[in-house]
């Protein structure tokens, strides 16, 4: 067998994709699995967006390569949308369209990091941040947070981990997996600290539109001009427009960084799929009614299932404010059921209760599991009942 690169030898596969694949395998064997493992809306892309794509196919516009940084009309739409949601103005030259927000992050870390450069990642974190940093030969430095402080980092936490090698900091609000949202005050303090120490802020706002029960999400770029200049803003259409399969994300910020990301994209993907870019133009410039309806559906589901989750013995969980995940600490529940760790408990939930959840270990939180409520309410209620009954039976 040929020797693989050192780069991929230490890479872990995505924990969320791995559990989804395992659940699918069991489903294919005819087992009735209820899956709460998905990181994507369960809705179909709204009709008007589909029609934008169909028009682009039929007119022939979608047949050709686009500029590497994306279609000019889409970049204009992204700048207009970002101005509307953050109050911050970006020029199209400060914008790149990418194959999902995931690839925007990948390009950014590749462009930014030299061997050993450190990136501060608040834990719990989205599974891909550390792997992408490592693929760029950077060093992920985890900043631990606690349920009692809603899993949010403070300047003191960050300062304790800062070294001369610290190059960037990831801030994801609303957060996957915790669903927590940073306040303006918290973001201002973190932003000022990053400016003071010249640490680049990677602001992942992908769940910015999915907020519930009166909470609002603000972007760190809105805090001040200096903080905006210190930040690369990451966003995309996957989560807010039910468009995960289309693969359209984007990054906004310093023109030189964006240009180098574009150069790298020009040698790797050339450009994001043209038809998906036309669909994204429709998403960003068309009616926002479907996005609001989906948000309301997520809110209803959250409010319905959170109390059911809290009835399961041993579970503790802050009620999420945004995104579409619950991230309970189930270490006590696992113990009550006779499991020595939460990962084994999560495996038993899949194999015996037939409910797929993602073990928190992949998110840097071994006491937790992640449950996605991007599923039908009936499925969610049935899954909660299965978990509840499983725990009662094992206790
Ligand atoms: N950032 C976070 C926090 C996410 O949860 C995801 C998807 O799961 C992404 C970025 C990437 O989204 P996409 O590549 O679909 O745009």
- For 82-116, the three-class secondary structure string (H helix, E strand, C coil) is HHHHHCCCCCHHHEEEECHHHHHHHHHHHHHCCCC
| Contact between 201 and 232 (Cβ < 8 Å) | yes
Is any ligand 1 atom within 6 A of the Cβ of residue 167?
A: no
Q: Residue 371 Cα, ligand 1 centroid: separation in angstroms? A: 16
* 0.95 surpassed by complex ipTM: yes
Neighbours of 200 (CB within 10 A): 19
Q: Residue 170 Cα, ligand 1 centroid: separation in angstroms? A: 13
What tokens does 192 get?
Answer: 């000022």
Percent of the chain beyond pLDDT 90?
93
**What does the pLDDT read at residue 12?**
77
Beta-sheet strand order (sheet of 369-372) = 325-326, 369-372, 358-359
Selection from 345, 335, 356, 327 nearest residue 124 by Cα: 327
Q: Residue 16 Cα, ligand 1 centroid: separation in angstroms? A: 12
Highest mean pLDDT among 14-23, 32-41, 174-183 belongs to 174-183
Q: Residue 266 Cα, ligand 1 centroid: separation in angstroms? A: 22
**What does the pLDDT read at residue 114?**
98
CATH T-level topology, domain 64-285:
3.40.640
> Does the pLDDT at position 13 exceed 80?
no
Ligand 1 pocket test, candidate residues 78, 129, 239, 364, most atoms within 8 A of CB = 239
Is any ligand 1 atom within 6 A of the Cβ of residue 236?
A: yes
Return the beta strands (E) in the chain as ranges: 34-35, 95-98, 118-123, 139-144, 166-172, 200-204, 231-236, 249-252, 325-326, 355-356, 358-359, 369-372
Is any ligand 1 atom within 6 A of the Cβ of residue 271?
A: no
| Pairing state between β 34-35 and 355-356 | parallel
Question: Of 219 and 19, which is predicted with more confidence?
Answer: 219
Q: Residue 37 Cα, ligand 1 centroid: separation in angstroms? A: 14
In the block, tokens 């609002």 appear at: 216
Q: Do 6-44+290-394 and 64-285 agree at the fold level?
A: no
What tokens does 50 get?
Answer: 């589909």
What tokens does 310 get?
Answer: 């809290």
> Does the pLDDT at position 295 exceed 80?
yes
Q: What average pLDDT score do residues 275-286 get?
A: 98
Helix (H, G, I), strand (E, B) or coil at 394: helix
**What does the pLDDT read at residue 138?**
97
d(CA 182, CA 193): 15
Residue-wise pLDDT tens digits, 88-145: 999 999 999 999 999 999 999 999 999 999 999 999 999 999 999 999 999 999 999 9
Q: Residue 346 Cα, ligand 1 centroid: separation in angstroms? A: 23
- Phi-psi sector, 173: left (phi>0), alpha (psi -120 to 50), beta: beta
Ligand 1 pocket test, candidate residues 16, 100, 101, most atoms within 8 A of CB = 101
Task: State pTM to two decimals.
Answer: 0.96
Residues in the chain: 395
Q: Residue 390 Cα, ligand 1 centroid: separation in angstroms? A: 32
Is any ligand 1 atom within 6 A of the Cβ of residue 238?
A: yes
**What does the pLDDT read at residue 234?**
98
| Contact between 207 and 244 (Cβ < 8 Å) | no
Each domain of the chain, given as residue ranges in start order, spans 6-44+290-394, 64-285
Query: How many helices and strands (H and E) does the chain possess?
Result: 15, 12
Is any ligand 1 atom within 6 A of the Cβ of residue 90?
A: no
83 alpha-carbon distance from chain centroid: 21
Selection from 174, 175, 240, 226 nearest residue 197 by Cα: 226
CATH T-level topology, domain 6-44+290-394:
3.90.1150
| Contact between 227 and 192 (Cβ < 8 Å) | yes
Q: What average pLDDT score do residues 40-56 get?
A: 96
């Amino acid at each position: 067998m040929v020797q693989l690169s050192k780069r991929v030898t230490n890479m872990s596969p995505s924990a969320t994709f791995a559990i989804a694949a395992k659940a699918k395998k069991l489903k294919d064997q005819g087992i009735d699995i209820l899956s709460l493992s998905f990181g994507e809306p369960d809705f179909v892309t709204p009709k008007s967006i589909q029609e934008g794509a169909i028009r682009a196919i039929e007119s022939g516009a979608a047949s050709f390569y686009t500029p590497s940084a994306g279609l000019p009309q889409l970049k204009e739409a992204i700048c207009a949308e970002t101005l509307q949601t953050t109050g911050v103005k970006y020029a199209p030259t400060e914008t790149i369209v990418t194959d999902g927000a995931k690839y925007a992050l990948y390009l950014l870390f590749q462009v930014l990091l030299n061997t050993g450069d450190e990136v501060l990642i608040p834990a719990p974190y989205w599974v891909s941040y550390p792997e992408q940093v490592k693929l760029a030969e950077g060093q992920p430095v985890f900043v631990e947070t606690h349920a009692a402080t809603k899993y949010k980092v403070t300047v003191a936490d960050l300062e304790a981990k800062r070294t001369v090698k610290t190059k960037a900091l990831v801030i994801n609000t609303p957060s996957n997996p915790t669903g927590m949202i940073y306040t303006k005050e918290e973001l201002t303090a973190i932003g000022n600290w990053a400016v003071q120490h010249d640490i680049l802020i990677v602001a992942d706002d992908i769940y910015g539109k999915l907020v519930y029960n009166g909470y609002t999400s603000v972007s760190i770029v809105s805090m001040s001009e200096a903080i905006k200049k210190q930040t690369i803003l990451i966003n995309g259409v996957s989560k807010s427009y039910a468009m995960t399969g289309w693969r359209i994300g984007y990054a906004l910020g310093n023109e030189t960084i964006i240009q180098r990301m574009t150069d790298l994209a020009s040698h790797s993907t050339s450009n994001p799929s043209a038809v998906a870019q036309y669909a994204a133009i429709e998403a960003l410039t068309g009616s926002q009614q479907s996005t609001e309806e989906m948000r309301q559906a997520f809110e209803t589901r959250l409010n319905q299932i959170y109390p059911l989750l809290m009835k399961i013995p041993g579970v503790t969980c802050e009620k999420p404010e945004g995104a579409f995940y619950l991230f309970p600490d189930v270490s006590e529940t696992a113990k009550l059921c006779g499991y020595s760790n939460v990962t084994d408990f999560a495996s038993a939930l899949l194999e015996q209760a037939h409910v797929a959840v993602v073990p928190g270990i992949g998110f840097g939180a071994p006491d937790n599991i992640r449950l996605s409520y991007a599923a039908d309410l009936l499925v969610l209620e049935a899954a909660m009942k299965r978990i509840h009954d499983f725990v009662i039976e094992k206790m």
